[in-house]
């Protein structure tokens, strides 16, 4: 029979490695799981995703009368017009979140989630900051004066703050980060569309 009185405190203690694992299981995973599910689709269906962002989609792809959500390595929305059923019709543009396509430049308060519209010719049709925590976003990236600099721009243009994009005094970090995210994500999406056209139907 084992003598419980002879068990040392060190035997009963939880080691630092086990404590770290326990902390991850109990605290970290439950905290980040909703964020992961929201970002990468999770239980949210494609129609639900369209409904959630439909008003923003109409702003950045104004020529479309409906949208479908497309999963994969480059998640995006297709803007459609005409008949052919819910997913049929002609594609007039694409919309995508900068955070889904590598545009994760950090501002004052973290990564900004910006929705970008792009037509089939590689011209931007609109941008909209959908989620951010920037303290100066209300007088920079949220303003029409910032957003309206992008429609009509080609993906090959510089997208440089102080050059073809106006700087905003007191909100430089926010504007530079948002513009960088738009540039990176838009060029990546454009390359993907070019590749699709070269290899087969979209």
* Full DSSP string of 61-126: STT-SEEEEE-SSS-EEEEEES-SSTT-SEEEEEEEEGGGTT---B-SSSB-EEEEEE-TTSBEEE
Nearest to 134 by CA among 169, 182, 175, 181: 175
State the Cα–Cα distance between residues 178 and 184, nearest whole angstrom.
Answer: 10
> How many residues does this entry show for the chain?
202
- The ranges assigned to domains in the chain are 4-40, 46-199
Under 8 Å between Cβ of 70 and 78 = yes
* Confidence (pLDDT) at 196: 78
State the Cα–Cα distance between residues 44 and 96, nearest whole angstrom.
Answer: 16
Say whether 155 sits in a helix, a strand or coil.
Answer: coil
Confidence band, pLDDT 50/70/90 cuts, at residue 104: confident
Does position 57 have pLDDT exceeding 60, yes or no? yes
Of 57 and 12, more confident: 57
Mean of the per-residue pLDDT values for the chain?
Answer: 84
Does position 181 have pLDDT exceeding 70, yes or no? yes
pLDDT tens by residue, 7-56: 454 444 556 666 666 554 555 444 543 444 344 444 458 999 999 999 99
Under 8 Å between Cβ of 96 and 74 = yes
């Amino acid at each position: 029979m084992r003598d419980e009185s002879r068990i040392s405190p060190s035997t009963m203690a939880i080691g630092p490695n086990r404590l770290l694992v326990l902390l991850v299981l109990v605290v970290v995973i439950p905290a980040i799981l909703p964020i992961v599910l929201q970002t990468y689709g999770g239980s949210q269906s494609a129609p639900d995703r369209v409904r959630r962002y439909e008003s923003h989609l109409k702003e950045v792809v104004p020529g479309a009368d409906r949208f479908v959500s497309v999963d994969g390595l480059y998640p995006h929305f297709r803007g459609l017009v005409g008949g052919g059923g819910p997913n049929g019709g002609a594609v007039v543009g694409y919309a995508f979140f900068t955070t889904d396509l590598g545009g994760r430049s950090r501002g004052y308060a973290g990564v900004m989630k910006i929705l970008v519209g792009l037509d089939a010719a590689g011209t931007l049709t609109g941008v909209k900051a959908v989620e951010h925590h920037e303290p100066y976003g209300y007088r920079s990236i949220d303003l029409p004066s910032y957003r309206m600099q992008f429609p009509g721009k080609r993906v090959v243009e510089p997208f440089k703050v102080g050059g073809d994009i106006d700087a905003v005094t007191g909100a430089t970090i926010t504007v530079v980060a948002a513009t960088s995210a738009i540039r990176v994500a838009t060029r990546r999406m454009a390359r993907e569309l070019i590749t699709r056209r070269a290899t087969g139907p979209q």
